[in-house]
Amino acid sequence: MSSLACIIVEDLQVAANYLEKCCEKSGQVAVKGHFVNVPDALAYLNENTVDLIFLDVEMPGANGFELLDQIAFSPKVILTTAKKEYAYNAFQYNVSDYLMKPFTYQRFMEALQKIQPSGETVSTNSASDHIYIKADGKLIRLNNDAILYIESMGDYVKFVTADNKRYITHNTIKNLEEKVSKQHFLKVHRSYIVNLHKIDDMRENMLFIKGNEIPVSKANKQDVFKRLNII
Amino acid sequence: MSNYANDKPFIFNGEINVQSINELYGDDYAYIEEVFDTVLKEYELLTNNIIAAYDSKNTPVLKAAVHKIKPIFGFVGLLKVQQQCQQFENTCHSATAFESVVDEFGSLKNSLIKSKSLIEEEKKKLELFNNQRA
């Protein structure tokens, strides 16, 4: 595996030091920074991108998920907490793994092995009017106009179509963002890409598409406004 | 030729789970000393947060403060104290009134005080041990 650029967001010094030591020992992860609170991490991520964030959820001031809401790209995330109540959020935020502190180096390496590039499961050129996805053991053509939105499901994504079908395929929102037609689609949240032509209405931080509620992150809200034909 | 002093393992206090320490750090005693030192530096702030939360009779904040300190006991092999923290968090979670956590907090507070002394002692022993090996 090539070297991954990461940051550590952790307010417990002993845990951050240990994590940094594990990264160094692995030879696979370059630690670009350690931050003890969300605002400092956010300031860094507004100027820099990373492949991976080791993220403690419970920190003073703001929690880790608030950080993920505010960044404009989609790095892999390994949580350094193990609270069951975070499971739903973790799923929404494409979290690769959890590490319960303290964890062994072996457990750390297991988590790292889950940070793999996604398989090529979508064939498209971004100017095309359709895409092909690998689902149910075959290649399925989806016209852009037929897709309502795409939702992250951990290492998988779900395509939801106008005829109320759902296609699940191995991929990530980050990868798809580059591949789908920019004319039709926009990432509105780290876990969602929507078909701009299918938006029925928007209220505060939610988009509505055929009865489906789609969250809009603070980081992506301005992009949404720019792309909607507001008069 | 093997140096006896360098091969000699460190003898941890019986309260410390040696297997856990070995799994985390192996025989890297210099790093283990660093871990104990870092934990001590954080200890006062973390325990002060717990006491402040207790004094304000705020159960959710108290639970969060105990949750925050809990992992450091894992880093120094005090697994029973780590479990005691978890148990106290569970008590806070199900508590309907602050008064219902008071007795258990007394026991936890004693453990926090004893643990600090124990970690300080172990840190001194580790420092001496590492100096002798150097």
List, as one string, the DSSP characters of B73-91.
Answer: HHHTT-HHHHHHHHHHHHH
The contacts of residue A117 (CB under 8 Å, 6+ apart) are none
**pTM across the whole model:** 0.71
Decide if A21 touches B, using CB distance below 8 A. yes
Residue whose structure tokens are 């790209």: A73
Sheet holding A206-209, edge to edge: A201-203, A206-209, A212-215
CA angle B124–B125–B129, rounded 5-degree value: 120
Decide if A82 touches B, using CB distance below 8 A. no
How far away is chain A from the Cα of B107, in angstroms, using its nearest Cα?
A: 23
Distance CA A103, CA A12 (A): 14
- Residues forming CATH 2.40.50.1020 domain(s) in chain A: 122-227
How far away is chain A from the Cα of B27, in angstroms, using its nearest Cα?
A: 14
Of the ranges A68-77, A106-115, B113-122, which one carries the lowest mean pLDDT score? A68-77
User: Which residues in chain A have Cβ-Cβ distances shorter than 8 Å to B75?
Assistant: 14-15, 18, 101-102
CATH architecture of A4-113: 3-Layer(aba) Sandwich (3.40)
* Preceding amide of A102 cis, omega within 30: yes
Q: Is residue B123 packed enough to be buried (19+ CB in 10 Å), middle (13-18) or exposed (0-12)?
A: buried
ipTM value for the complex: 0.91
Decide if B75 touches A, using CB distance below 8 A. yes
Between B80 and A174, residue with greater pLDDT: B80
Rounded CA Rg of chain B: 17
Average pLDDT by consecutive 10-residue portion of chain B (134 residues)? 60 96 95 98 97 96 94 97 96 93 96 98 97 87
User: Which residues in chain B have Cβ-Cβ distances shorter than 8 Å to A105?
Assistant: 24
Q: Is B75–A101 a contact, with Cβ atoms under 8 angstroms apart?
A: yes
Indicate the fold that domain A122-227 takes in CATH: OB fold (Dihydrolipoamide Acetyltransferase, E2P) (2.40.50)
Which domains does chain B show, CATH number per domain?
A: 16-133 (1.20.120)
- Residues forming CATH 3.40.50.2300 domain(s) in chain A: 4-113
How far away is chain A from the Cα of B5, in angstroms, using its nearest Cα?
A: 26
Among the partner-chain residues A12, A21, A105, the one whose CB lies closest to the CB of B42 is A12
Residues paired with A97 in a beta bridge: A78
Distance CA B112, CA B100 (A): 20
pLDDT of A65 above 90: no
